[in-house]
Amino acid sequence: QDFNAHTSFGSLCTMVQEVQLRRRYESSLPGRFSMREFGVLIYPFDSKEYFALRPCTSDDDAKSQLYLLQHSEPCPKCGIRVQRDFEASACPEVSCPKCRTSFRCVRVGAGHEIRGLSVQARQQLCRVISAAAQAAEELEKDRLRLSQLLGHDATVLSDVFSFLAQGRQSFTLPDLRRALTHLQLRLSERNLNLMWSRYAPYGSATVGFRDFIRQLKPLTKAGPI
């Protein structure tokens, strides 16, 4: 409303369900975003923030990870993240507390300053949310169409899964690439990884039938499209 967006409430609800479908946390609440889920929505798929948020087990953990990314740098030897104290901002040299390696660190702790989003940033956030809501609504329409075309024949998707997994209990990223190539569907490596991240549970190298079918079932009851 603040920026004259024309996104319906129904689209926003579908967007929340869609994000929770993509990255299900144990603490997910129907119709409500956690900070981790909101981060999955707004950060680019290949950003360091996105990858930092995915394994977080709580919103407090997510806040800590995002703070470290913004206000610390990794040690060049052991990789542990290090930051300078706000009071020591004039001295760029730090010593890693783990391996004692000295290196130049240009990032400083945030101190106690809390800043809100600028008007431009809020406008862009509104655009991202609006685009995500519209995309989620279109994807749900596609799932509903698929459900109506298949009817009660559950064996069709089982056959598709068997084709991907070559008769095994799960399929891998190379299996997905092979199947798409066989069907003459060419995707960039980035888009292929985007597709894979939707179906594969976090940290898993395989996709089972349950995770596969969960992404294809409508989130809402079938009706006129």
Structure-block tokens of residue 212: 């596969």
Average pLDDT score over the chain: 83
Does residue 89 have a pLDDT over 60? Answer: no
| pLDDT (average), residues 71-94 | 77
Amino acid at 138: E
What's residue 118's pLDDT?
Answer: 84
Instruction: Give the rounded distance of the alpha carbon of 159 from its chain centre.
Output: 28
pLDDT in tens, 38-47: 888 889 888 9
| pLDDT (average), residues 106-123 | 69
pLDDT in tens, 122-163: 889 889 999 999 999 999 999 999 988 887 666 888 999 999
Regarding predicted confidence, which is higher, 80 or 202? 80
- Of the chain, the percentage scoring pLDDT greater than 70 comes to 84
Confidence band for 73, pLDDT divided at 50, 70 and 90: confident
201 DSSP assignment: P
E strand residue ranges, the chain: 73-74, 81-82, 93-95, 102-104, 170-171, 207-208
Does residue 2 have a pLDDT over 60? Answer: no
Distance CA 62, CA 56 (A): 6
Burial (0-12, 13-18, 19+ Cβ within 10 Å), 169:
exposed
Q: Taking a C-beta distance cutoff of 8 angstroms, is the pair 103, 75 a contact? A: yes
